Homo-oligomer: A and B are copies of this chain.
Amino acid sequence: MQNTVIDQRVQLFIETCRRHHLKITPQRVAIYRVLIQSKQHPTADRVFRAVKKEFPNISFDTVNRTLLTFAGIGVVDVVETFGGPKRFDPDITDHHHLHCMACGRIIDFAYEGYARLEVPKTIASTFKVISRRVVLKGLCDACSPKQ
């Protein structure tokens, strides 16, 4: 990702924090920067270890709490998993996920065909739908048995 693109996203992030009356701390900015540069839907621990390089005595709790705060104001998503630690997604635009059952990778994909997954009337009338996503389980190319 280009530096200018990163800086733009950080700028938007800062504005969102202000709108929610959250203080702009260097820890929060560092965590957000790590997050948007990660391609792997990282766990809190992965983010922690990456941020620690810049902030050697940041605590795990701060990273974890901050990620949950970010999810609360909608700047990141907590993504669906099948057990194990929570995983975070800095891409909050519409997209879908393939979960590799072997290595645990979560691979993003967009697809026109799912563009507007309409919600069945019976559901739409009883539930308030906030987000929708297609979740595929399978094996990624690296994990598929080759022949």
Contacts and interface: CB of A to CB of B under 8 A. Distances in A.
A4 to B, nearest CB: 29
A3 interface: no
Contacts of A118: 113
Count the copies: 2
A65 to B, nearest CB: 14
Contact of A128 (B79, B129, B133, B139): B139
A138 B128 contact: yes
Given A126-B140, A136-B123, A137-B129, A79 B78 contact: no
Interface string A96-136: 00101100000101010110011110110011111111111
A130 B131 CA distance: 23
A123 B136 CA distance: 10
A81 B80 CA distance: 5
A2 interface: no
Contacts of A98: 123, 127, 129
7 contacts: A117-B134, A119-B136, A127-B141, A127-B144, A128-B138, A129-B136, A132-B137
Interface of A: 78-83, 86, 98, 100-101, 107, 109, 111, 113-114, 117-120, 122-123, 126-141, 144
